[in-house]
Amino acid sequence: MHRLTLLIVAALAVVLLMTAIGCDDGQTSVASQQRKASVQTRAATFARAEAKYPLPRVENFPLRDLLVEMTKREDLVNHPWYTYVIADTGQTLGYYVTKTPPINKCNFLSSTEDITKTDFGEGWSSHVLTAPSLDGIYYGGGGASGACNQWVMQDYSTGALITLGDVKYFVADRPLNLDAEPIRVEK
């Protein structure tokens, strides 16, 4: 008798659960219909916009040309770069002549992430962890929450490493006609 009661209670629980899952108060289908209508409206609007202003046939690709030129110049060895340091007032404080444009100190030569698999008793899952840097220190890596506002460059004539932090600057691959003095590094 006790066993029969348990079976009846279990069967009723299954029926109630199936009924609850099957019940739909209409809100889910209304929200789904609203999303579907919204997507259709956006697609129709985009179709009208594209019909009125179709995509142009690009012939010259000047922006791509500029990226290619930038890449070629950044690949030059023994090519000076002029890094102008700017005050918060907009005044040019001076310029460094460097071997390359400044690079962000948060750039690394190897991956900053390590993917590991762990079994927490619920099956294996992958986790992305920060890998140590080449200097043996853990840094924030690509997903760091810090600003990474440190820029490194190498003086052209002495090879000295220079780090700029939290300053404004701009770079040219030729000297500019500005009232700015070179910032010289002692040998």
In the DSSP assignment, the letter for residue 54 is: P
pLDDT cut 90: percent of the chain above it:
57
Confidence of residue 25 (pLDDT cuts 50, 70, 90): low
Q: Looking at the whole model, is its pTM more than 0.85?
A: no
Q: How far apart are CA 55 and CA 146, in angstroms?
A: 40
Tens digit of each residue's pLDDT (9 = 90 or more) over 81-90: 999 999 999 9
Collect all residues with Cβ–Cβ distance below 8 Å to 156 and sequence separation of at least 6: 80, 81, 97, 98, 99
* pLDDT tens, residue by residue, 95-122: 999 999 999 888 777 777 778 887 777 7
